[in-house]
Amino acid sequence: MQLTGKVVFWQDKKGFGFLFCEQTNQKLFFHIRDFAQPKQRPAEGDLLRFDLGTDKKGRPIAVSLSIDSSATIAPPKERLVIPKNTVDLEYAKDLALYFRAAFLMLVIISLLFGTLPYILPILYIEVSIFTYWLYQADKNAAIARQSQRLPEESLQMFSLIGGWPGALFAQKKLAHKRSKPLFQREFWLIVLANCILLLWLLSTPGQQLLSRVAFLTL
């Protein structure tokens, strides 16, 4: 006997989505390749018939899918609300790119005007907040079992340019990336490098170099 579930998320470009099955009280991943009729394209709100299967890691997924066009869903008075914890990571990547460009422009301008030491606290706060947001987006994608994730190199890059306090807070609060030894080793090396660079910039040689850079632009 096939199960039925309502599509609660569908990414048409990627060909995957999630459905909720009330019979098993599960939110299940499904892919377009598992439809009995490949030309069928589901939409959010569609009712699907499916069999239970497992992915390569043994997690339950929906397979042998078909759209039940004849069925209608009459929502009961009390229905479990399914949180949409999926996130558009393409948007997150684009926003990260724009943020890096704006950050670089701000650093260059502050170097030219000799104001970098004064705006460093603001830069650290802004980058830390944005880095925390990136960790949260990637965590939501992991919870939703999305195949697409934020590259770890991107997360480490934001830690390198000053967002490591936000990254450290996110790792502890969200329990994200803290159990990966290689990632943690790279992260703490980045923290060390960032702190050394910061101390050097605030030292006498660093201040002299910043003064020369600003002086050359006058």
User: What are the backbone angles phi and psi of residue 19, rounded to the nearest 5°?
Assistant: -125, 160
pLDDT at 61: 92
Distant-in-sequence, close-in-space partners of 214: CB < 8 Å, separation ≥ 6: 111, 112, 113, 114
Q: Has residue 81 got a pLDDT over 60?
A: no
> Where does residue 56 fall: left (phi above 0), alpha (psi -120 to 50 degrees), or beta otherwise?
alpha
Q: How far apart are the first and last CA of the chain?
A: 79
Both structure tokens of 110: 């502050």
List 29's β-bridge partners, or say none: 18, 61
Q: Which domains does the chain have, with CATH numbers?
A: 3-67 (2.40.50.140), 89-216 (no CATH)
- Establish how many alpha carbons lie within 13 A of residue 207's alpha carbon, considering only the half-sphere containing its beta carbon: 6
pLDDT at 211: 83
| 169 or 78, higher pLDDT | 169
- Summarize pLDDT for 131-163 with one digit per residue, the tens: 999 999 999 888 887 878 899 999 999 999 999
Q: Has residue 36 got a pLDDT over 50?
A: yes
Amino acid code (one letter) for 21: C
Q: Has residue 70 got a pLDDT over 80?
A: no
Question: In 3D, which of 121, 115, 118 has the Cα closest to residue 217?
Answer: 115
pLDDT at 78: 44
- Report yes or no on whether pTM surpasses 0.85: no
**Average confidence score pLDDT of the chain:** 85
- How many other CB atoms sit within 10 Å of the CB of residue 133? 18
Question: Cα–Cα distance between 98 and 74 in angstroms, integer?
Answer: 44
- Summarize pLDDT for 91-117 with one digit per residue, the tens: 888 999 999 999 999 988 888 888 888
- What angle (nearest 5°) sits at the alpha carbon of residue 174, between those of residues 170 and 177? 75
Given a contact cutoff of 8 angstroms between Cβ atoms, the answer to whether 67 and 47 are in contact is yes
Banded model confidence at residue 74, pLDDT cuts 50, 70, 90? very low
Question: In 3D, which of 119, 136, 129, 144 has the Cα closest to residue 9?
Answer: 144
Question: In 3D, which of 202, 207, 126 has the Cα closest to residue 162?
Answer: 126
Question: Cα–Cα distance between 188 and 201 in angstroms, integer?
Answer: 20
Amino acid code (one letter) for 1: M
